[in-house]
Amino acid sequence: MKAQRVDIFVCPSATPADTSGLQALADAGKLKPETLVALVGKTEGTGAHDDWGRVWADVALREWTAKFLGIPVGEVAKHVIFVLSGGCPGVITPHIAAVTREWVELPAAHQEGVKRLVVGRSGSDAIAPEEVGRMGQISKVAEATHKAMADGGLTDPKDVHLVMVKVPGLTTASIADAESRGKTVVSHDLTFGPEGAGAYANDAAALGVAMALGEVPEAKLSDDVVRRDWDLYSEVAMTSSGGEKRHGEVVVFGNSTSSASALQIGHSVTRDFIDADGVRKALRSAGIRFNDGVPDESDLSRLVHVFAKSVIPGSDQVRGHRITLLDDADAYQIGKALGGMLVASVTGRTTNYVSGGERNSHQGPPGGNIVAAVVRND
């Protein structure tokens, strides 16, 4: 019986255009053109819709991938999914995580009933500017999520622990295009603020995941609920957006008994910015052992990677005490930095994928954030 064997390799980046880590993996035979599924990472820069660091990294990685696969740059998106999140404030290390998948025969020693990591990928149909942040985007992301699950051999939403999505954001040019055709857009604010187009794009994508996994019934979804009804959310969606995108790109991570991987994924949600126990629950879910509430140091070496959101709460209260973050002009970057420090304080490493900075989100329950961990269980 053929089964997936998935691996993840994390390469710190010296610059946004640094592909040396990927090339070293290729030279060592750990990356092969037929096994590369996705490149997921954090890039230095502003984190804004037109982030120079993310765009630079995207161009460099697509050029490297095209050469590696031996195909034109324009064909890369058909073979490899790119999910790049800009901005690395605080203790977040710029890095690229290469996700690989190959099909192998299940070994004779395979343990029946044991679930290990599988991945699935898919691209959405083109998302028009007038669909960003609205039902058009929600529906297209939901459809792509279903396709990615099928690609990964996942049928039960409970086996899905992380859905990473990169979708188009709005730009001055795309807004002008929509309006030249008599269409409206969700916002003219190009930031990730409360009414920013970036936040609308991210949240519509999250609701698309929630719709696909049955976390939110389709009947409850409409243009009007995006960034308005915070009772609607996904516990496994991590989304980001950028003006360089035209299609949605989806990578689904889950566990399956039909897997020959040595890796396992788990997830949890935090209550707030200071909920270290929420991070520990994600590590436990993936198989890390703990000693007196602290991850066992020898066991922690099996941790492969952590993916987390860091969303600013809509309230100026954390556990009953007033905070001034919402009044800070740099709240977007501070929000990411706080999430990066929280995860690093538990994992003891800085190469964690921490995306966020928005105020409130449909990615996780109100005030909470999503954390997913991948652990090696050889």
Residues with a catalytic annotation lie at 166, 240
**CB 51 within 8 Å of CB 87:** yes
**CB 152 within 8 Å of CB 71:** no
Report helix, strand and coil shares of the chain as percent, to nearest 5: 35, 30, 35
Q: How far is the C-alpha of 11 from the C-alpha of 20, rounded, in Å? A: 9
**CB 4 within 8 Å of CB 119:** yes
Buried b (16+ CB within 10 A) or exposed e, 40-50: bbbbbbebbbb
**CB 339 within 8 Å of CB 354:** yes
Strand order in the sheet with 116-126: 116-126, 247-256, 160-168, 237-242
**In sequence order, what are the residues at sequence separation of 6 or more whose Cβ sits closer than 8 angstroms to the Cβ of residue 273?**
310, 313, 318, 338, 339, 342, 369
For residue 174, with 0-12 CB atoms within 10 Å meaning exposed, 13-18 middle and 19 or more buried, which class applies? buried
